[in-house]
A and B are shown apart, each in its own frame.
Chain A
């Protein structure tokens, strides 16, 4: 995603009352604290509503066992600017920062964790960890998601679902109006909170009608995804941040999962540093909430530059994929080449199981130009790896959803009990 400068047009700022109204939530009175309410009156998900994702607000939401919905009011004229010290006590959320009254958040950006954290987040949208409160970094469990809607990129950085309303900038979704934001919030919470929701069977054609057999064939990855996730519904995270890989929140068999999805139509699905950052962000989300990671892999390798930062981004993402303490299931849909295959969980990422399709090709490098293509295909074929026991199955594409559901069930023990002992969570 390009990162245009954040909007500073306060005339087009988020209207909290309109957003809350679109969600069917009451608009709290000034000084009313942190309301606990249900979306759409009494029928929807219970949420704790706040004006800033302060540690105090997060603690209250966690205690209540609800997601935290933060609707950040636009700053009052003359209030402190992001990154400044402002007048708000960031560690406790005092000074009215939790209050939804317009301008009560004071330095809206500054209220999101500490000021200095916000600036580095700007260049890598919603990258690892987050500036929300102090809950960034690996290993911090936050089962209840934090959703932030604001008009300032500084205010949304690090949220589990970051929405920029009437503003452009780095976020999961930007340029939204209040109704579009409400729709996304509703869908995100529906897909990410709770377990065992009703399973809706996806409709659509056979996957072998969607995906060509040739390993380098191009197809519509979203059509494939629609056939695999419950109801064909998902919410994208970091939408548009890197076109070669999509990262989405969805349900499979009723279970909330994070999904990475290669897009072979975008430069063969070759991973860029931005794509790596996207994958890392999804892994953070999975790990914080103890959610499985499902990866649908079809990548011709990496598109890293020769510069050290690109190499470092790849190395870090590969290490992150290996170390993530979540259930990891990889479906090799097409190609799985080199370090990109590790970043996407297909090779050397300690996946619980890797399920290749018959068209899958796995290799350390792209085939050398002087190698006979037929021989190159034979050497890289998933079928060959399955014969030797390096992979333990090759599946019919139309079995994919059923196999994923089965494997997610198998991992249930670990997710419920924090198994195995000794793993820090």
Chain B
């Protein structure tokens, strides 16, 4: 007979340790967190995963917080709760910082735990969700020469050091900034396939207030340095700025539902119950025929996609272009659409930055791109040149020509200039290009064409207003998309009401090619 007594004692001690770990920093610390409108790591994980599916790893890890002159105190879970669970029935890895211990800073054990989960995600091809507080190393554990050996996001020692950035384009990394993310946490977020930030209670910056104060003598709060507002409107670094943590985590679930677990799979096709052939007669009413009149392209997109559900990214940054994930007949698609309601849908530097990153991520994860064009071309002028327009246009060009993922394009209204080619044109290998009867294709708008070709006559007042209008009308007629369809430079001119059906058919047609292209790694850059 085995020594049962020894077993019982050891197993009871184990259970007690687990229970202590589950209490995190204790009831008082949890209460303080709640008072600030924040959730604990376990509560966040509860929101992320399907009920009852979380499997924790490293529950027994316990750190020690050492501060000179103060008694040592235990840090249950050492600042990190980690493991895996299911999101809509699919496995996802998670590392969640615990705000009840040293404001979410990690101890060495917590770091090892986080690194191991990251390795497991990368090695097995699962999405990794990082629910970030400060996510930094605990200050005292980095004081002194041991800082030299710190990996700053490296591995658990079971494989060569690898940051999440090294898995870009392999398996999705999702960052939810739920505290003050500085240093490594902000680097990870910049490289993530999807990022969200809880407005008001979270911020993201390269360096925090003490470093800014010490370095340049400027007093600034974390919100001054990188609030949700800053990242939503100025930097555009965060895909979804959420009103609170619950919404931020819900957006992570929505994002993951669109994505494959790794770049070696196709995104899951989910039957939505929205008929592929559903007609949308209201589309013709949404879009004015007059090219100068604005309208909301967002409504057009939502009318076309399954149940009007669009996960729009960076909606308040470069508002003249819409990017986001949606489904058409259950297929995940990446939408890139000009927004005529802002700057007439012109393609400026910010719009290119926004579109390029999105297109690269879709390309990496086998997500077909659907373009809806209504744009007057690239913005020109001294300001945009100084902003580096040329570099960004070339980035877009390289991205578009290098894309292997299927592209399907609808020319909703005006499609002018080189940008017409790069945003899903035949020139970059789009699989299917159709236009609405309102569509117009040309190197430039009629007004610009006249101004360029008849520059001298205009300058000398030789061109009457009546003649100018005649010329505009003539160019407008020449630009009608039907001429392109007549000699098969585009595939068709369609009734707007049938747009959804056309897109669904085109996506079904290219599925075989998508499968054939699996197992090709296509990474993306950060900007």
Interface residues of A (CB under 8 A from B): 208-214, 217, 219, 350-353, 358-359, 383, 386-390, 392-394, 396, 406, 410-411, 413-414, 417, 419-421
- Please determine whether B10 and A359 come into contact, CB atoms closer than 8 angstroms: yes
Please tell me if B65 contacts chain A, counting CB pairs below 8 Å: no
Cα A217 to Cα B110 with chains together (Å): 33
User: Which residues of chain A have C-beta atoms less than 8 A from B5's C-beta?
Assistant: 213
User: Which residues of chain A have C-beta atoms less than 8 A from B126's C-beta?
Assistant: 410, 413
- Please determine whether A389 and B7 come into contact, CB atoms closer than 8 angstroms: no
- Please determine whether A212 and B3 come into contact, CB atoms closer than 8 angstroms: yes
A-B contact pairs, 28 of them (CB 8 A): A213-B4, A213-B6, A213-B10, A352-B124, A358-B7, A358-B14, A359-B6, A359-B7, A383-B17, A386-B61, A387-B60, A387-B61, A388-B112, A389-B78, A389-B111, A390-B112, A393-B58, A410-B120, A413-B91, A413-B125, A413-B262, A414-B123, A414-B125, A417-B265, A419-B123, A419-B264, A420-B170, A421-B170
- Please determine whether B158 and A351 come into contact, CB atoms closer than 8 angstroms: yes
User: Which residues of chain A have C-beta atoms less than 8 A from B84's C-beta?
Assistant: 410
Please tell me if B485 contacts chain A, counting CB pairs below 8 Å: no
Q: Assuming the A-B contacts A387-B62, A410-B91, A419-B264, are A214 and B124 also in contact, with contact meaning beta carbons closer than 8 angstroms in the complex?
A: no
User: Which residues of chain A have C-beta atoms less than 8 A from B91's C-beta?
Assistant: 410, 413
- Please determine whether B159 and A350 come into contact, CB atoms closer than 8 angstroms: yes
Of A212, A388, A393, the residue contacting B109 (CB under 8 A) is A388
Give the distance to chain B from A383, nearest Cβ to Cβ, in Å: 7
Please tell me if B116 contacts chain A, counting CB pairs below 8 Å: yes
Cα A132 to Cα B314 with chains together (Å): 59
User: Which residues of chain B have C-beta atoms less than 8 A from A413's C-beta?
Assistant: 91, 124-126, 261-262
Please tell me if B326 contacts chain A, counting CB pairs below 8 Å: no
Cα A63 to Cα B170 with chains together (Å): 31
- Please determine whether B2 and A210 come into contact, CB atoms closer than 8 angstroms: yes
Please tell me if B122 contacts chain A, counting CB pairs below 8 Å: yes
- Please determine whether A350 and B59 come into contact, CB atoms closer than 8 angstroms: no
* New contact pairs (11) apart from A208-B4, A396-B11, A414-B123, CB-CB < 8 Å: A352-B124, A358-B13, A388-B108, A406-B55, A413-B261, A414-B124, A417-B262, A419-B264, A420-B123, A421-B264, A421-B519
Interface residues of B (CB under 8 A from A): 1-7, 10-11, 13-14, 17, 55, 57-62, 78, 84, 91, 108-113, 116, 120, 122-126, 158-159, 170, 261-262, 264-265, 519, 521
- Please determine whether A388 and B61 come into contact, CB atoms closer than 8 angstroms: yes
Cα A244 to Cα B179 with chains together (Å): 53
Cα A388 to Cα B91 with chains together (Å): 27
Closest chain B residue to A398 by CB distance? B11
- Please determine whether A417 and B125 come into contact, CB atoms closer than 8 angstroms: yes
Closest chain B residue to A422 by CB distance? B521
Which secondary structure dominates chain A's binding surface?
Answer: loop
Closest chain B residue to A412 by CB distance? B124
Q: Assuming the A-B contacts A211-B2, A358-B11, A413-B262, are A392 and B125 also in contact, with contact meaning beta carbons closer than 8 angstroms in the complex?
A: no
Of B4, B10, B125, the residue contacting A420 (CB under 8 A) is B125
User: Which residues of chain A have C-beta atoms less than 8 A from B55's C-beta?
Assistant: 406
- Please determine whether A386 and B262 come into contact, CB atoms closer than 8 angstroms: no
Closest chain B residue to A420 by CB distance? B123
- Please determine whether B124 and A411 come into contact, CB atoms closer than 8 angstroms: yes
User: Which residues of chain A have C-beta atoms less than 8 A from B122's C-beta?
Assistant: 420
User: Which residues of chain B have C-beta atoms less than 8 A from A351's C-beta?
Assistant: 158
User: Which residues of chain A have C-beta atoms less than 8 A from B2's C-beta?
Assistant: 208-213, 217, 219
User: Which residues of chain A have C-beta atoms less than 8 A from B158's C-beta?
Assistant: 350-351
- Please determine whether B265 and A392 come into contact, CB atoms closer than 8 angstroms: no
- A383, A396, A419: most-surrounded residue (chain B CB, <10 A): A419
Give the distance to chain A from B27, nearest Cβ to Cβ, in Å: 23
Q: Assuming the A-B contacts A386-B60, A406-B55, are A392 and B113 also in contact, with contact meaning beta carbons closer than 8 angstroms in the complex?
A: yes
Cα A414 to Cα B262 with chains together (Å): 10
Closest chain B residue to A381 by CB distance? B10
Cα A394 to Cα B159 with chains together (Å): 22
- Please determine whether A392 and B123 come into contact, CB atoms closer than 8 angstroms: no
Closest chain B residue to A396 by CB distance? B11
